[in-house]
Amino acid sequence: MDQFPALLIVVPLLAAPLAVALPGRRLPWMLATGVSWVVFALAIGVLGRVLESGAISYTMGGWEPPWGIELRIDLLNALVALIVTGIGAVVTPFAGRSAAAEIRPQNTALFYCLFLLTYTGLLGITVTGDIFNMFVFLEISSLSSYALIALGKDRRALTAAYQYLIMGTIGATFFLIGVGLLYSLTGTLNIADLANRLPAVAGTRTVHTAFAFLVAGLGLKLALFPLHLWLPNAYTYAPSAVSAFIAATATKVAVYVMIRVLFTVFGADYSFGSMPLQPILIALSLVGIVVMSLMALNQNDAKRLLAYSSVAQIGYMVIGFSLATTAGLTAALTHVFNHALMKGTLFLALGAVAYRIGTTLIRELDGLGRLMPWTLSAFALGGLSLIGVPLTAGFISKWYLIVAALELGWWWLAAIVLLTSLIAVMYVWRIVEAAWFRDPPAHRQDVKEAPLALLVPLWVLVAANLWFGVDTRFSAGIAARAAEALLGAGP
């Protein structure tokens, strides 16, 4: 039990080289699936401990913090770890059939190795309590996801991965500059220690500069409009399982790091009081939501449409935490949780479509609802959740966000959130209309429903969307407690 936090990182890390050593194509996949379930169980265990007895601190190698690296898990990162591992536990089984169809056979073992390394990186960022360690894990997850994206079939996957590499590295280097400046003032890298020592030097220009570098770097990583340029291509041309996994987890983890830096390291008073961050972030997010939703309307490829919608959805999360109130943070964290579920569902559904017809272009989806009813109805339900229809997970996050906006008396913000949901109705409808209200062309008549190996993971996520749309005790409940802790702990 005590070793769980370390095992969350160590298990996927050790399994990664093992996946390359295993012969054949099925064994690496079985290993990855096993690992994804083990870490999911570990994450549940850790969350249980945190709920029971408060934050866990684990000293790596027995070196006491702030000298050694500390793994520190409170409700916030326990929740994020649960999201990452939960999505992983569903996507990895899906990857078996899906990746076999999209990736060259000789690359299969490497694919699972990279997949596990991405997993390691994301979990490492989530559990660590050391800000330099965070940078290292950020780079582990980024480097392996660049390579994963480059495994896509289309040659544009290569340029997408290259573009992501350039922008991602700039983002990470900005983060590193910020960390360096903070270290030069405080002499510590431990997040809790940093938070204690920063108020004494908060007025200096070095801290202002560090703050700017950290926010800009993380803005690149979480694809905050207008720093999102790498995202649409990367999500579009990556293999289906990778799109689903990265879309549902990588940007969420970046949002987590942003929240951690703004609220734990600098504290809400500094980030949103002394620094004019709130108007900047809210303005950028609002423009981003509107522009990206309109861009989504004009896409020909369903995967690309979802990618643009992802940038818009990130805007909702950023608005949530920029309000810097308990209600706003709760909304942001709930949306992090729910958006992972809905985008996971939608990308997996498209993965199943790509498995059968080899493309996700919207004009090729005509009449597919009749040929693959289970897949496309899962897509429709995921779409409803994305729009925010009552009884789905998406409704809960929109609800919390609107309540948080109204609490501050910002009715215009609530109105924009509602109006942009209407654009979401329009772009989801484009796909639903093509799939369900048109006749399948003659050459598609023999397309069969996706195999069970793809449908089961897909419907597990659909069920989660519906479940967390009704029972919010878990998702919003933990989010609310984490939000209170974040705002209460700030200096």
Partner 1 sequence: MDALGLYNYWIVIFLMMAGFYTVISHGNLVKKIAGLNIFQTSVFILFISMGYVSGGAAPILEEGVTLYTNPLPSVLILTAIVVGVATTALGLALVVRIREAYGTVEEEEIHVQDKDF
Asked whether the beta carbons of 147 and 114 are under 8 A apart, the reply is yes
Which SS3 state, helix, strand or coil, does residue 301 take? strand
CB of 132 to partner 1, least distance (A): 6
Q: Return left, alpha or beta for 440; rule: phi > 0 is left, psi -120 to 50 is alpha, else beta.
A: beta
CA distance 339 to 289: 15
CB of 307 to partner 1, least distance (A): 16
Name the H helices within 151-226: 156-186, 191-201, 205-221
Cβ distance to partner 1 smaller for residue 58 or 237: 237
Query: With CB under 8 A as the contact rule, which of the stretches 177-185, 280-288, 330-338, 471-479 interacts with partner 1?
Result: 177-185
Query: With CB under 8 A as the contact rule, which of the stretches 155-163, 215-223, 297-305, 397-405 interacts with partner 1?
Result: 155-163
User: In a 10 Å sphere around its CB, with 0-12 CB exposed, 13-18 middle and 19+ buried, how is residue 298 labelled?
Assistant: exposed
Decide: is 147 part of the binding site for partner 1 (CB under 8 A).
yes
Decide: is 26 part of the binding site for partner 1 (CB under 8 A).
no
CA distance 435 to 78: 38
Decide: is 155 part of the binding site for partner 1 (CB under 8 A).
yes
Decide: is 159 part of the binding site for partner 1 (CB under 8 A).
yes
Residue from 166, 200, 418, 419 touching partner 1 (CB under 8 A): that is 166
CB of 135 to partner 1, least distance (A): 8
| Amino acid, single-letter form, for residue 470 | V
CA distance 65 to 166: 34
Binding mask 115-144 for partner 1 (x = CB under 8 A): -----------------x--xx--x---x-
| Amino acid, single-letter form, for residue 206 | T
CA distance 63 to 150: 39
Cβ distance to partner 1 smaller for residue 170 or 290: 170
Of residues 183-202, which lie at the interface with partner 1 (CB under 8 A)? 183-184, 189
Name the H helices within 22-155: 26-53, 75-102, 108-127, 131-150
Binding mask 320-349 for partner 1 (x = CB under 8 A): ------------------------------
CA distance 40 to 468: 18
Compute how many residues bind partner 1; rule: CB under 8 A.
26
Cβ distance to partner 1 smaller for residue 3 or 184: 184
Cβ distance to partner 1 smaller for residue 143 or 479: 143
197: number of Cβ within 10 Å: 17
* Contacts with partner 1, residue ranges (CB under 8 A): 132, 135-136, 139, 143, 146-147, 150, 155-156, 158-159, 161-162, 165-166, 169-170, 172-173, 176-177, 180, 183-184, 189
